[in-house]
Amino acid sequence: MDTNSDIDVLISEVGPRDGLQSIQTVMPTEAKKAWIRAEAEAGLREIEVGSFVPPKLLPQLADTAEIVEFARSLPGLTVAALVPNFKGAENAVRAGAHKITLPLSVSETHSQANLRKTHAQVLDEVRRIVDLLRDLPPERRPAFEGGLSTAFGCTLEGPVPEGKVVALARQLIELGCDEVGLSDTTGYANPAQVRRLIRLVWAEVGKERLTGIHLHNTRGLGLANALAALEEGITTLDSSLGGIGGCPFAPGASGNIVTEDLVFMLDAMGLRTGIDLEKLLAVREIVRNALPDEPLYGFTPDAGLPKGYRRGGWGIAA
């Protein structure tokens, strides 16, 4: 679905997946639908609506197939989903997801904790998924991203060699993934590291194979890292409404970038996201009402928009 030619930066909302998988509360299905509908109406073009994992592992996402089917009815929305393995990919295809992402943790310790698989086993799953997708008619074939998790460091292993990130990126593309994504699963990244790793992966697989990055704000560097990625030429940024989410299998990995703060920064810079900021801020009430015991974060929602704010023009002298 190419609906993004009129924007500068694509914001991929991951709250309904990454956010909800990381909290104990199970959001009602109808509330999820209201959240996704409201974000689409606010101008979000891509939403990761769930994950095709066994319900016994993540009951918060047990209704993902129903959510995908609903989200597909919203015009102009790319419906994304996480898949941990071949079975998950089969279910995502059956439900009609436009895009699927399989996470490959660069830290093998995290891979064992997250997917219970070694690198070799995950790559075997990738091969099987590629074969599955190649046999589908084009109209049913989702885009397939290999997500490089813990690419900037791991709470279980510590530093992650950049050469390992690059090598796995090359393997994913060689196996048939359409693209790779870099993920700061544990919030370890800094702007210099973000710039360097993007350049290294681009040199190996090409710029068209890495366009997106998933960043966390665990240590307060989320927006700084996002800006560094943008200045390098990345065009897709993941974020979560209210900053909810993290990774349940990486201790201390809290804090997705807050969608509202990210959109405000881009909007104030004059970059086009296609998102109506005031409508986006109103979506918080849907999530707050459905998750009354969960904290929501964000400086922009708390402070409000500056007096006299105009997109791309506030603070600029006449």
Residue 211: what residue type?
T
- Is 247 annotated as catalytic? yes
Distance CA 296, CA 286 (A): 12
Question: Which residue bears the tokens 């009354």?
Answer: 292
Rounded distance between C-alpha atoms, residue 142 and residue 99, angstroms: 5
Cβ-in-10-Å burial (0-12, 13-18, 19+) of 180 comes to: buried
Q: What is the 3-state secondary structure (H, E, C) of the chain?
A: CCCCCCCCCEEEECHHHHHHHHCCCCCCHHHHHHHHHHHHHHCCCEEEEEECCCCCCCHHHCCHHHHHHHHCCCCCCEEEEECCCHHHHHHHHHHCCCEEEEEEECCHHHHHHHCCCCHHHHHHHHHHHHHHHHCCCHHHCCEEEEEEECCCCECCCECCCHHHHHHHHHHHHHHCCCEEEEECCCCCCCHHHHHHHHHHHHHHHCHHHEEEEECECCCCCHHHHHHHHHHHCCCEEEEEHHHCCECCCCCCCECECEHHHHHHHHHHCCCCCCCCHHHHHHHHHHHHHHCCCCCCCCHHHHHCCCCCCCCCCCCCCC
User: Which of these is catalytic: 93, 247, 263, 283?
Assistant: 247
Query: Where in the sequence numbering do the catalytic residues fall?
Result: 247
